[in-house]
Structure 1
Amino acid sequence: MGAFQVSGSGSDGAGAGKRPNELLGSWFARSGWSKGELARQVNRRARQMGAHHVSTDTSRVRRWLDGEQPREPIPRIMSELFSERFGSVVAVEDLGLRSAHQSPSAAGVDLPWAGPQTVALLSEFSRGDLMLGRRGFLGSSLALSAGPALVEPMQRWLVPAPGGEQPAPAAPEGAAARRTPRLSGPELELLESTTAMFRLWDAQCGGGLRRKAVVGQLHEVTDLLQEPLPGPVSRRLFTCAAELAELAGWMSYDVGLQPNAQKYFVLALHAAKEAGDRALGAYILSSMSRQMIHLGRPEDALELIHLAQYGSRDCATARTQAMLYAMEARAYAGMGQPGKCKRAVRMAEDTFTDAGLDGEPDPDWIGFFTEAELHAENAHSFRDLAHVAGRSPTYASLAEPAMTRAVELFRADEDHQRSYALNLVGLASVHLLRREPEQLAAPAREALGIARSIRSERVNTRLRKTVDLAVRDFGDVPEVAELGELLGPRFPEPAEAV
């Protein structure tokens, strides 16, 4: 499948077409949105992107349907919104809209697997992201890839460089000796510990609070990587860059900036290859897989997870392997394959029991995968199976005890408030599948309180969708009606992508 095209700078504007946009009209009619709702969603997504100049209303949406071509970033935004609404990639062209010309550095994910190019692209992309916040418009066009356009380039992660696996670029011994090092050992350790601190902030507060700080730190690391460095220092810096880029991608994903997220993930995988860290590469591929599940592409998610498992089979710790099995189960659930899903769930549980027993210390980036997270992922797999099977009560019953246990464990974990909120919403959705409206209100109400204190578009969106479905099906139940009123038409307030 080709790339999901989105594009760059400019403001909302005119340029009326000669005839109604029948393609956009068809997608719009099937979405169930009103013109006002689409306008509000466009404005909210534009603010998340930093495009504060965009201000759309009902009359402007009507003109788009009548054939007017909006300027960027409107085509990109509507492509993302319709893709999320329908759970599959809806390209700009599918909407009858025109996208701006893409620069080579922003087009697609098929990038050179070489150290200098990786550093240059990381530097360019992080700088553009930082400038976006200051200028208030999109600095470059992007493409969200799916299908073979995504999976095939990622397979080259495992292809050795010509002449065999090459170490990360390093300065000649003489040159390194002649230069005064810009980075001491303690400074390098501080960079690594700062990455761990950013990861904790993300778990506590959501991706919208410190995203730009992570991007700024990544840009600083790429500056250091452009200096001549001894091989071991270069590899450690590439590891740091890979972790920061993955985290920037994860935070972008959390606040709804999907093309940005994918680009960071891809660049992170390139940096991990330069560092020679296949376990970290597998973790990055798992993040890409989560994004594909979110976008309704479970087949792509499964391809990425199998690539991660194959590439890290001889180096990943038991905790990392358990996480990969849990993600494999999520992909199979989305594909409606219960037998393979249940087998992957069992593998995740069995492998997790070995975590910490193999004598290998776990890296910081996999520390999130606790017993609570294991229960949460497995519960979501069964919940997804229930959805695919037409609201199957059997699979919903399998999901409930695991989701309940996850909520209990996250309730005692102040460092993972976003995960706590997501699983409260997950528990509410399970009660909805089981047609238990009275029981879903309490976890949803608690999730609402947490959602107001963190910045996570994922939490907001899942909460809104679950409550909307509950009100649609059980609006006459007092607890559900009260929940709909608590949420209100103006919740959630948009999380700023800072």
Structure 2
Amino acid sequence: MGGSGGGGTSADKRPNDQLGSWFVRSGWSKGELARQVNRRARQMGAHHISTDTSRVRRWLDGEQPREPIPRILSELFSERFGCVVAIEDLGLRTAHQSPSVSGVDLPWTGPQTVELLSDFSRSDLMLARRGFLGTSLALAAGPALVEPLQRWLVPAPASGLPGGPAVPAQAGPRRSARLSGPELDLLESTTVMFRQWDAQCGGGLRRKAVVGQLHEVTDLLQEPHPSAVSQRLFKIAAELAELAGWMSYDIGLQPTAQKYFVLALHAAKEAGDKPLGSYILSNMGRQMIHLGRPDDALELIHLAQYGSRDCSTARTQAMLYAMEARAYANMSQPNKCHRAVRMAEDAFGDASPKDGDPDWIRFFSEAELNGENAHSYRDLAYVAGRSPTYASLAEPVMRKAVELFREDPEHLRSYALNLIGMATVHLLKQEPEHSADQAGKALDIARKVRSERVNTRLRKTVDSAARDFSGVAEVVRLTEQLATHLPDTPEVAQAV
């Protein structure tokens, strides 16, 4: 029984109507679902899992499968529908997990933040297989996500950090560590380098190196330091954890990404860096938009804006307004979307090199601003039933973003994503030949970067073109090229 992922054997089982509903809407057969479960299990190293159609039928009839099957099913259905499908939504139960590996309602204290960062990064390094950590976690959404994060705004106790020694209570006394200014500078410059690699090559290339560096920094944080040194180390840890989350998000490890974002926010609070915390919250909001939960995204973005309104630079404010517009677009609120777009443009116009922007926000260039605003208009077009009006609004702004990114070799992934965005705009305008041209250029880049986000968006765009314009030669040719050069076997190479 254990090898097939079986579970409860209650004699009075009832059909699992919740799982059955998701299963019917997915369009999968029992055999296809079984194959996907087995494939995901192999990717995460759970080679004992061997599911078949009879096992799937028993789940539908009410049998409760053992871990990690509920997590695998949650991930598969979430990916299928583009929104969070929690284990409970499937009518399944999950084993109890300790706070160190589950949930976002964590203690806001320096020593426990260090301990959790250390434990989670160590587990990630030890179990660095695609999906392993992801299937040990549950994505949080709604109040379970937003309410604990509101404590980010609560002032830290007067006796706490930022700046104090960060020694876990059980660690006992340690010798005093001495870190020089140049050593801290080197740690900070290494984080900048990792960020550049991610923008150029995608999240799949150096994720494991970032997690390893994060783990090393948490080791340093377990030593007593002067207040100023501890504060800088927490800032470095926050930036590395945010980057590990971003890279995990980029390669499709959504629960892992969310966990890193949460831990990054805790570290940013210990560092006393509110603008960095607002940036982390904005990326959590972006993830919620990706997962089909714009209401949650908007709450996270508003929390970011409120928490950093007096201390963030104009560039950071522009980024937050642009993300607010994306959330409103996906909530089908065009007036609020337009207002947020204008505020993003106005704030960006106030940005100046003299502002002293931190490195993590320097990516938000004129190209990025245009790309975000164009995607807001594009999203409005989709939620408004493929509105040609909003598609026409998106086209010139998206074109400008594409032109600017074309001249920016340091942000290759963003160039690909905006080419795909341009392709979707052309589809909305019933221009399949132009869409195929832009998607073809994105395909050339997708072969060079390791980004499941790029691959997934490209596949969805080409599938949409093939469905609506199957007789167009350029679309047929692109579909064949995609099957050859980017086959639909989305795997992350050992989550490196």
Asked if structure 2 preserves the Cα contact closer than 8 Å seen for 1:52 and 1:137, the reply is no
Answering whether residue 488 of structure 2 is matched by residue 491 of structure 1, we say: yes
* Aligned counterpart in structure 2 of residue 199 of structure 1, from 195, 200, 207: 195
Aligned position for 1:152? 147
1:120 aligned to which of 95, 115, 123: 115
How many residues end up aligned between the 2 structures? Answer: 483
- The corresponding residue for 1:7 is none
Q: How many angstroms does 1:474 deviate by? A: 1.2
In the superposition, relative to structure 1, how do residues 318 and 286 fare at CA in structure 2: closer, same or farther (>3 Å)?
same
* Rounded Cα–Cα distance in structure 2 between residues aligned with 1:453 and 1:170: 44
The equivalent of 1:175 in structure 2 is none
Contact persistence 2:332–2:380 (CA under 8 A): yes
Q: Is 2:324 the partner of 1:328?
A: yes
Contact 2:110 2:166 survives alignment (8 Å)? no
Once residues 309 and 119 of structure 1 are traced to their aligned partners in structure 2, the CA distance between those partners, rounded to angstroms, is 26
Counterpart position of 1:90:
85
* 2:288–2:294 CA contact under 8 A, matched in 1: yes
Q: 1:460–1:492: 8 Å Cα contact kept in structure 2? A: no
Q: Residue 448 of structure 2 aligns to a residue in which SS?
A: coil
Evaluate the alpha carbon distance shift between residue 241 and residue 166 of structure 1 in structure 2; reply closer, same or farther with a 3 A threshold.
closer
**Corresponding residue SS for 1:133:** coil
1:64–1:444 Cα change, 3 Å: farther
TM superposition shift of 1:145: 1.1
Separation in 1 of the partners of 2:383 and 2:131? 40
Higher mean C-alpha deviation, range 103-112 or range 209-218? 103-112
Summarize the Cα distance change of 1:130–1:82 in structure 2 as closer, same or farther, 3 Å threshold: same
Match of 2:333 among 323, 328, 337: 337
CA contact (8 A) 1:254 1:457 kept: yes
Distance in 2 between residues matched to 1:321 and 1:332, nearest whole Å: 16
Deviation at 1:238, TM superposition (A): 0.2
2:9 paired with 1:13: no
The answer for the alignment partner of 2:171 in structure 1 is none
| C-alpha deviation, 1:390, in angstroms | 0.7
Asked if the contact 1:288/1:301 (under 8 Å) is kept, the reply is: yes
Shift of 1:85: 3.0
Return the offset for 1:192: 0.6
Residues 208 and 72 of structure 1, relative CA distance in 2, 3 Å threshold: farther
Q: Is the 8 A contact 1:376 1:406 kept in 2?
A: yes
Q: Supply the distance in 2 between the matched residues of 1:44 and 1:214 (Cα, whole angstroms).
A: 27
Alignment correspondent of 2:250: 254
Distance 1:149 1:364, change over 3 A: same
Preserved contact between residue 201 and residue 450 of structure 2 (Cα < 8 Å): yes
**CA shift at 1:299, angstroms?**
1.0
Q: Provide Cα deviations, 1:175-227, integer angstroms capped at 9, x if missing partner.
A: xxx95634222211111111111111111111111111111111110010010
Are 2:272 and 1:280 equivalent residues in the alignment? no
1:407 CA displacement: 1.2
Amino acid in structure 2 at the alignment position of 1:79: S
In the alignment, the residues of structure 1 paired with residue 176 and residue 94 of structure 2 have an alpha-carbon distance, to the nearest angstrom, of: 48
Which range moved further: 23-32 or 262-271? 23-32
Q: Determine whether 1:360 maps to 2:386.
A: no
Q: Residue in 2 aligned with 1:183?
A: 179
TM norm structure 2:
0.90
Per-residue deviation, 1:97: 2.8
Specify the SS of the correspondent of 1:420.
Answer: helix
Which stretches in structure 2 are left out of the alignment for 5+ residues?
168-173
Inter-partner Cα distance in structure 1 for 2:383 and 2:130? 43
Q: 2:476 aligns with which of 457, 481, 488?
A: 481
- Taking the aligned partners of 2:402 and 2:478, their CA distance within structure 1 comes to 20
State the shift of 1:50 in Å: 5.4
Counterpart code for 2:194: F
Does the Cα contact within 8 Å between 2:261 and 2:284 map onto a contact in 1?
yes
Shift of 1:171: 8.1
Using structure 1 for the length normalisation, give the TM-score. 0.90
In structure 2, C-alpha distance between the alignment counterparts of 1:93 and 1:360, rounded to whole Å:
47
Structure-2 change in CA distance of 1:205 and 1:383 (3 Å): same
Mapped partners of 1:257, 1:136: distance in 2: 6
Q: Which runs of 5+ in 1 are unaligned?
A: 1-9, 173-177
Residue number in structure 2 paired with 1:263: 259
Partner residue of 2:402?
407
Determine the structure 2 residue equivalent to 1:311: 307
Query: Partner letter of residue 236 of structure 1?
Result: R
> Where does residue 387 of structure 2 map in the other structure?
392
Q: Does 2:296 match 1:289?
A: no
Residues 346-366 of structure 1: CA deviation (Å, up to 9, x unaligned): 111111112115x22111101
Contact 2:68 2:135 in 1 (8 A): no
Amino acid at match of 1:285: L
Over 3 Å counting, the alpha-carbon distance change for 1:486 and 1:44 in structure 2 is farther
The corresponding residue for 2:19 is 24
Is the contact between residue 30 and residue 57 of structure 2 (CA under 8 Å) also seen in structure 1?
Answer: yes
Shift of 1:415: 1.4
Residue by residue over 1:113-138, the C-alpha shift from the partner in whole angstroms, topping out at 9 and shown as x without a partner, is 11011111111111111111279955
Identity fraction in percent: 78
What amino acid is aligned across from residue 298 of structure 1 in structure 2? Answer: P
Aligned to 1:6: none
1:87–1:296 CA contact under 8 A, matched in 2: yes
- Between 209-218 and 125-134, report the one with greater CA deviation: 125-134
Is contact 1:87-1:297 (8 Å) kept? no
Report the CA distance between 1:319 and its aligned residue: 0.8
Corresponding residue to 1:378 among 349, 373, 378: 373
1:445-478 C-alpha deviation (Å, 9 max, x unpaired): 1212221222111111111111111111111222
Counterpart of 1:442 in structure 2 is 437
Shift of 1:88: 3.5
Compute the displacement of 1:68 (Å). 5.2
1:429: how far off? 0.8
